[in-house]
């Protein structure tokens, strides 16, 4: 196996001059200023020189890149199943690939990774079709200087999507908790803040404590109105005792 250097990247080339599982790793210099967090890219590409051009453009705007290359659909699927990537950059017309096969395999993997196609001269209709099918962007190699802008936008949108998904999951969890709280007729359940103010109570709790309505109970301060024992109150609310400590085991 031959080994060669180009700038700060290290290429590993097979006996045929190109290893389908090639790794390209840019050294991260300590003290580098203005660099983005490390970006892990999977290239689906048969031309190492064009991959190098892409990396050079990203380097110009201070992206620190760790990149891997695959050239076959099988290799692409295997990498998606075993590694985490921030971005996929795929050759638009690659040997042994159908036009949008990379997109199809990415969708099948259930991985939410932005995919950018790069290639020769692109017709508007082709670009529109690929984006409709799920590609983030399509960039001509003659205009590869646009790649860093597309990458930055793709990463920003990916972050926003992940934050939105986390918010949705949190809302679903909150709704499920509320349904369980409101619908439980066997146990009195409440939620309060650290000062003892009720935030939520269910009907069973209202009846157990002898109040006429949920609103009437919600107006009561749990700490001062219901729990007279100071030590028990502090223990229940997770407040420090007179020595300033909390024992969660009690």
Q: How far apart are alpha carbons 60 and 62 in whole angstroms? A: 6
* 3-class secondary-structure state, position 132: helix
**Taking a C-beta distance cutoff of 8 angstroms, is the pair 57, 144 a contact?**
yes
pLDDT score at 89: 95
pLDDT score at 73: 92
Helix, strand, coil percentages in the chain from 3-state DSSP, rounded to 5: 45, 20, 35
Backbone angles phi, psi at 127, to 5 degrees: -60, -45
Q: How far apart are alpha carbons 68 and 19 in whole angstroms? A: 10
Q: Is the pLDDT of residue 247 over 60?
A: no
pLDDT score at 98: 82
Per-residue model confidence as pLDDT tens digits over 55-111: 999 999 888 899 999 999 999 999 999 899 999 999 987 777 887 899 999 999 988
Give me 21's structure tokens: 């599982």
Widest pairwise Cα distance in the chain: 84
Find the radius of gyration of the CA atoms of the chain.
29
Between 153 and 32, whose confidence is greater?
Answer: 153
Q: How far apart are alpha carbons 101 and 69 in whole angstroms? A: 16
For residue 222, the 8-state DSSP code is: I
Position 169 confidence tier, pLDDT thresholds 50, 70, 90 = confident
Q: How far apart are alpha carbons 28 and 139 in whole angstroms? A: 27
Please give the C-alpha separations between residue 248 and each of 147, 181, 213, 241, in angstroms, as whole numbers. Answer: 53, 23, 32, 12
Backbone angles phi, psi at 56, to 5 degrees: -65, -40
Question: Mean pLDDT across the stretch 115-136?
Answer: 86
Q: Which bin fits 17, alpha (ψ -120 to 50), beta or left (φ > 0)?
A: left
Question: Mean pLDDT across the stretch 144-166?
Answer: 88
* 3-class secondary-structure state, position 43: strand
**Taking a C-beta distance cutoff of 8 angstroms, is the pair 103, 97 a contact?**
no
Helix or strand run (H / E) with residue 44: strand 39-44
Looking up tokens 């599982």, which residue turns up? 21
Per-residue model confidence as pLDDT tens digits over 133-145: 889 999 999 999 9
Between 143 and 169, whose confidence is greater?
Answer: 143
């Amino acid at each position: 196996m031959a080994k060669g250097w180009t700038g700060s990247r290290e290429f590993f080339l097979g006996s045929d001059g190109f290893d389908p599982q090639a790794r390209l790793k840019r050294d991260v210099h300590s003290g580098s200023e203005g660099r983005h967090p490390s970006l892990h890219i999977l290239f689906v590409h048969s031309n190492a020189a064009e991959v190098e051009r892409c990396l050079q453009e990203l380097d110009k705007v201070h992206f620190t890149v760790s990149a891997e290359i695959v050239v076959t659909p099988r290799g692409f699927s295997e990498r998606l199943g075993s590694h985490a990537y921030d971005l996929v950059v795929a050759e638009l017309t690659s040997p042994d690939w159908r036009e949008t096969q990379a997109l199809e395999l990415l969708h099948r993997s259930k991985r939410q990774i932005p995919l950018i196609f790069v290639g020769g001269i692109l017709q508007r209709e082709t670009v529109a079709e690929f984006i409709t099918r799920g590609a983030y962007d399509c960039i001509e190699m003659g205009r590869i200087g646009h790649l860093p802008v597309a990458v930055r936008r793709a990463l920003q949108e990916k972050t926003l999507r992940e934050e939105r998904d986390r918010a949705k999951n949190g809302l679903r969890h909150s709704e499920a908790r509320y349904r369980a709280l409101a619908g439980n007729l066997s146990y009195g359940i409440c939620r309060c803040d650290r000062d003892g103010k009720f935030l939520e109570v269910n009907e069973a709790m209202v009846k157990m404590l002898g109040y006429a309505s949920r609103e009437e109970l919600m107006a009561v301060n749990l700490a001062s109105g219901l729990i007279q024992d100071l030590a028990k109150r502090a223990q229940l609310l997770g407040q420090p005792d007179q020595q300033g400590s909390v024992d969660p085991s009690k």
